[in-house]
Structure 1
Amino acid sequence: MFNFKREHLKKIDYWLVLCIFALVGIGMLAISSATSYSGDIDILRSQFLFFIAGLGLMVLAMSIDYHLLGEWYLPIYILMNIVLIAVFFLGKNVNGATRWIQVGPMTIQPSEFAKIGCILCTAKMLEKYNDKINSIPSLLIIGLFHFVPFILVNRQPNLSTSLVILGILVIQLFISKLDFKVMLTTVGIGTLVLGIALAYIIGNPNQKLLPDYQRNRIVTKIQGGDNLAENYQTNQSVHAIGSGGLEGKGLYQGAISQLNYLPESHNDFIVAIIAEEFGFIGILIVLGIILFMIARGLWIAHAAPDNFGRFIIAGYMGMIAMQTFVNMGVVTSLLPNTGLPLPFISYGGSSLWANMIGIGLVLNVGMRKEKSMF
């Protein structure tokens, strides 16, 4: 089961590992500042313990040959969907959304792990059908396979995460043998359907496609207005980013952290803390590390021994890119407010653990690459 040989240790991509430590370290500094006003260090301590446990999960994901995991993709897929279904019956409701399951003293968000499950399972499906990917039956099978977790997450409701799950499929299809014409046609049809659905949602206050709070966020962003309740967090975030300037005010010197102007800023709005206290330079450093990590991952994919490994890495790195874009788009008021954390930086055990498993899978593929890299 475990295939962790000495030669594999020599092939571990330590640049990727260094990126993870850097991002988590920056996140902990920002979380420390975001929660310092209360004098309570429990959140920071929890994030540190989440990271230590996450390192164990990363090593575990590295140790089990990803080909073996691929052989077990159906049981993994079934278990993933069973847990997502269990959320509706055993889940904890917070602010109208049921996304969490209480496990002893901990609260787990299964949709975070579902993203990694979708990356692995869909990668195996694409490898299986890659040579006949341009046939309608193959595309329907893959689409339905991916649609089940998508709809289960969407109905929690968790629109942003379900869209990330959909995006993972699109990215993995992009590097498959899918014909470019088929790809363009699919994108065109998808864009048309999305446009019609968006027009219906905006123009019909009684629509049933989205919960009212999600519709209000979209309408407020597109049509503008003075909805203080919907715009409060984003407005505070934009003010914080602007006040940080080029170099920032310094650690523990930001108004939104020290005066708690932005509630729960250690979660999805952690970028506002970084921007105010470390400035534009701090944000560039964060983006630079993330972009380097993505580029490094794609380089590993280029040398992967098979398509299964390439699909895994493309799906995971695509997920990191999407979540980074959406998270930063929200805090800068480019996009409607969503609930997507910034990978490795935002507070949260489920998100951090899922990402540590994901990076473990990338390292797993990299340890079995065909040629050496710098």
Structure 2
Amino acid sequence: MLRNYRLKNYNFKLIINVLVLGIMGLIFIHSADASYVSKQAMGLIMGLIVMVIVSLIDFQIFTKNAVPLYVINMILLIGVRLFGKEVNNAKRWFSLGPLGTFQPSELTKIIMIIVVTAFLMRHEDDLNKPKTLGKLILICAPPLYMILQQPNLSTTLDICFIVVAMVFVAGLDSKLIVRVVAVGVPLLAVFLWYVQQPYQILLKNHQVERIMSFLHPEDYANSTALQTNNSVMAIGSGGLFGKGFGSNTISDVSSSDVNLVSEQQTDFIFSVVGEEFGFVGCVIVIIVLLVLVMQCIQIARKADNREGMLVAIGIASYMGFQSFINIGVATGVMPNTGLPLPFISYGLSSVLSASICIGLLLNINLQGNRY
């Protein structure tokens, strides 16, 4: 349903922020691998169009249809499991021929924000009851399990972080949070011990190796930890102001046959930023991303209803957690995982997913400024 919104209430600052990130992305991707630039530019144009269309549709239409969206999401996740394109022993993508690929798990992030919002609205008065939280876990479990089986641990954890943030803001009892932390920390220690055992069945071998290479990088310096170590080296080599545009020699695998940093146009795009533009360039990128997250939070605070606030918080968590994880991996402070940097990393699915989120934010902002 389209409404009569006023152009003066449109949040152009948010759009400008997104465009700045997109242009930065094109510059960095060009340095990483120029062959990806045209597709990324096309994705940004498509994303901008989708963003505007979604911004003019009442966001509550999506929350009212959370159940059909959930079902569609499950169909896509099951479909990609059965018929998806396999790359490096992972089935995460549908092949779209010359258009590239589509990754349903990127869409899952948005749909789960909508589904969790609808759930929290229905259980506003009994959120802290174990039965209610149990229902939420049962709702989240099927899509998370399907994504984990692709395998895609990073996206699974990303969605978990988003859901936890939304539940916290919705009014989770602080006493319950303390209890969860008291139980969760020992469980995490047990989990880390268990996945190192030869009989463990929770994670794939490569996932265990990534965790172990983070905990004991010296033992994996020439294998799993090599990429992260080289990413850190590339960032450090940039110094204060960097080597200059197009001068990446460490983060550019095409300049050497030793595969220093692979997938630098996606998961390790930040290594290109650090090497070419130095510490100053890294800080600028982080500031622009931080401003984006703060704009999301500001829209949440000004939303004229609780529903809009929860959706906006979910999107703020999406942008914030994903940025933190991507940069954390590139700088070696987190285990190696595959998450794109919003609007900067190459990936049409990622760009379209993030664009839909911004469209929802724009609509929430418009509804909060109708009068």
Shorter-chain TM-score tier:
over 0.9
Alignment-derived partner of residue 209 in structure 2:
216
Indicate conservation of the 8 Å contact 2:242/2:275, yes or no.
Answer: yes
- For residue 32 of structure 2, the aligned residue among 34, 44, 47 is 34
Q: What is the CA deviation profile of residues 341-369 of structure 1, one whole-angstrom value per residue up to 9, with x for unaligned ones?
A: 11110000011110011111111111111
1:86-125 map, 5 Å: 86-105=79-98, 106-125=100-119
Shift of 1:238: 1.1
Could you tell me how far 1:56 is from its partner in structure 2? 1.5
For residue 161 of structure 2, what is the aligned residue in structure 1? 167
Q: Any idea what SS the aligned residue of 1:176 has?
A: helix
CA contact (8 A) 1:57 1:356 kept: yes
Shift, 1:190, TM fit: 3.1
More deviation in 250-259 or 154-163? Answer: 250-259
The answer as to 2:189 corresponding to 1:195 is yes
Code of the aligned partner of 1:53: M
Could you tell me which amino acid in structure 1 is paired with residue 192 of structure 2? L
Aligned amino acid, residue 81 of structure 2: F
After the TM superposition, which segments of 4 or more aligned residues of structure 1 sit over 3 Å from their partners?
Answer: none
Secondary structure of 1:249's aligned partner: coil
Gap runs ≥5 in structure 2: none
Please give the secondary structure, in 2, of the residue aligned with 1:131: coil
CA contact (8 A) 1:303 1:371 kept: no
Asked if 1:304 is matched to 2:303, the reply is yes
Partner of 2:228: 234
Query: Post-superposition shift, 1:99?
Result: 0.7
Report the equivalent of 2:265.
Answer: 266
The equivalent residue for 2:146 is 152
Match for 1:2: what amino acid? L
Q: SS at the partner of 1:76? A: helix
SS across alignment from 2:325: helix
Alignment: residue pair count: 364
The answer to whether residue 345 in structure 2 is matched with residue 318 in structure 1 is no
Q: Secondary structure at the match of 1:229?
A: coil
Give the match's secondary structure for 1:175: helix
Inter-CA distance 191–290: structure 2 relative to 1 (3 Å threshold): same
Aligned counterpart, 1:45: 38
Q: Deviations over 1:256-310 (max 9, x none)?
A: 3372542331111110101111110001111101111111111111110111111
Q: Out of 112, 120, 127, which is 1:126 matched to?
A: 120
Q: Which range moved further: 242-251 or 130-139?
A: 130-139
CA distance, structure 2, for counterparts of residue 114 and residue 89 of structure 1: 17
Q: Deviations over 1:159-199 (max 9, x none)?
A: 01000111111000111122111222233333333322121
Distance 1:291 1:96 in 2: 34
Counterpart in the other structure of 1:255: 249
- Return the alpha-carbon distance in structure 2 between the equivalents of residues 62 and 332 of structure 1: 35
Which residue of the partner structure matches residue 2 of structure 1? 2
Distance in structure 2 (CA, Å) of the matches to 1:64 and 1:194: 42
Is the 1:11–1:368 Cα contact (8 Å) retained in structure 2? Answer: no
Does 2:200 align with 1:207? yes
Letter in 1 for 2:55: M
Tell me: CA distance 1:151–1:187, structure 2 relative to 1, closer, same or farther (3 Å): farther
Q: How far did residue 371 of structure 1 move?
A: 8.3
Cα distance change on mapping 1:263 and 1:149 into 2, 3 Å: same
Alignment of 1:256-295 (within 5 A): 256=250, 257=252, 259=255, 261-295=260-294
- Cα distance change of structure 1 residues 353 and 337 upon mapping to structure 2, 3 Å threshold: same
The structure 1 residue matched to 2:51, chosen from 43, 48, 58, is 58
Equivalent position of 2:17 in the other structure = 19
Task: Look up the equivalent residue of 1:212 and give its one-letter code.
Answer: N
Q: Is the 8 A contact 2:245 2:277 kept in 1?
A: yes
Conservation of the 8 A alpha-carbon contact between 1:101 and 1:107: yes
TM-score, structure 1 normalization = 0.94
Question: Does 1:143 pair with 2:142?
Answer: no
Gaps of 5+ in 1: 36-40
SS of the equivalent of 1:54 reads helix
**1:38 matched to which residue of 2?**
none
Tell whether the 8 Å contact from 1:248 to 1:276 is kept in structure 2 after alignment. yes
> Which residue of structure 2 lines up, in the alignment, with residue 67 of structure 1?
60
Which deviates further from its counterpart, 184-193 or 130-139? Answer: 184-193
Cα-to-partner distance string for 1:31-74 (whole Å, 9 max, x where unaligned): 11111xxxxx4410000001111111111221210111111111
Q: What is the alpha-carbon distance in structure 1 between the residues aligned to residue 120 and residue 5 of structure 2?
A: 31
Matched, 1:79 2:78: no
In the TM superposition, what is the alpha-carbon distance from 1:370 to its structure 2 partner?
5.2
Give the AA of the match of 1:112. E
Root mean square deviation, CA, Å = 1.5
Kindly, what percent of the aligned residue pairs are identical? 37
Amino acid at match of 1:271: F
Summarize the Cα distance change of 1:313–1:325 in structure 2 as closer, same or farther, 3 Å threshold: same
TM-score, normalised relative to structure 2: 0.94
CA distance in 2, matches of 1:58, 1:371: 19
